[in-house]
Amino acid sequence: MRITLKDVAREAGTSVAAASATLNGKLSGNMRISEPTRQRIIESAARLGYVPNPIARSLSTGRTGVLGLVFPYVDAFIDRNPFCTVVMNGVFTEAIQDSYNMMLYTVRDGFWAGKDRIDPRVDGLIIALPQSDDALLQRCRESSFPCVGIVCGPQPDPIMTVNADDYEGGRLATNHLISLGHRRIMMLHGGDAICTNQPRMEGYKAALREAGLLIHDELIVEAGFDWKLGAEAMNEVLDRPSREWPTAIFAVNDLCAAGAIRSIKARGLSVPNDFAIVGFDDTWFATTIVPQLTSIRMPIKEMGSLAARMLAREVAGDPPSERHPVLGVSLTIRNSCGSNAQVPVLEFPEF
């Protein structure tokens, strides 16, 4: 049998209105509830095992207590993509602390398509990795629906965004390889579908220019953001005459770097003896690669947490003052560039 507010009020010896105001945190009119009465209601609710009815609460507050998390492809929640899993960790941790539940979507769900409004079961949306012409972003913007994009290109209000300093990451990665004496440095880039690609490439080019090195178009190779595309792109490079090979590689993310390393090893070559390589993301995944991967640390979990915190404030009517934060990045040096650093392999520590 479900315990109701009436049951709590009867147990506490108060009115239903007083029980509702106490447990929902919402006083109305001239209602005043003394501290002893409030404590008695809370203790009665705990003793009876009262759980608020989310439908009733949504009717009284206009909010459902649910946030939505949207990823761009169906398998994002199960394929253990390091970026996706760490973003989820950050979002879920913050949402739970703010007493929100989460609803998960992928763009293929089409849960907004053909409708005049966003799914009414959620108070706001966090959209990870949206493209610039994302239809859901546009719908949120048109309807002023609370929304935060993670790894998202510039957006006009009211859309909020959370990003990392991808340009600086590209510079850091390339400068590290230059400092090790490399002059033919290739970038395996991800294409223009995800907004991080272009600033990472611009950082790569800036580092080369600052070092007085030429930018060779043939050393800028499109790969993608997963290991298969990284492997295929590296195979194409290795099919060239060896005099055209780079000595070092900056990969657009750690999955791409892992694919490149797989292709290098399959040719009987070595990382770092034949090629030094730097990735981007620096999640748990970077330490499972052999050799362990030097990588630009992108604060992915923090980005997820910040996005959830910003959205919760927006929904509560206390909008954050900073609506487009850009988080800093750093370089983690491991063995894939020839470092002697010994870093222990981590067993998925961010789950």
Same fold, 5-61 and 166-299: no
Burial (CB count within 10 angstroms: exposed 0-12, middle 13-18, buried 19+), residue 241: exposed
Report the C-alpha gap between 2 and 5 in whole angstroms: 10
Q: Are strands 330-332 and 294-297 parallel, antiparallel or unpaired?
A: antiparallel
Give the model confidence (pLDDT) of 135-172 as tens digits.
888 889 988 999 999 999 988 889 999 999 999 999 99
Residue 243 tokens, joined: 């005099």
Are 140 and 156 in contact, with CB atoms under 8 Å apart? no
AA letter at 115: K
Q: Which two tokens stand for residue 3?
A: 């315990």
Q: Does domain 5-61 have CATH number 3.90.550.10?
A: no
**Nearest CA-CA partner of 290 in 268, 261, 267:** 261
What is the rounded CA–CA span in Å between residue 82 and residue 350?
A: 9
Domain 166-299 class? alpha beta
- Please give the Cα distance from 271 to 292 (Å, whole number): 10
Residue type, 117: R
| C-alpha span between 150 and 83 (Å, rounded) | 11
CATH number for the segment(s) 66-164+301-324: 3.40.50.2300
Q: Which of 90, 65, 158, 157 is nearest to 307 (CA)?
A: 90
Each residue of 3-56: pLDDT tens digit?
888 899 999 999 888 888 787 655 555 677 888 898 898 889 888 888 766 555
Please say if the pLDDT value at position 107 is more than 90.
no
3-state secondary structure of 199: helix
Express each pLDDT in 60-90 by its tens digit: 556 788 999 999 888 887 777 899 999 999 9
Domain ranges of the chain: 5-61, 66-164+301-324, 166-299
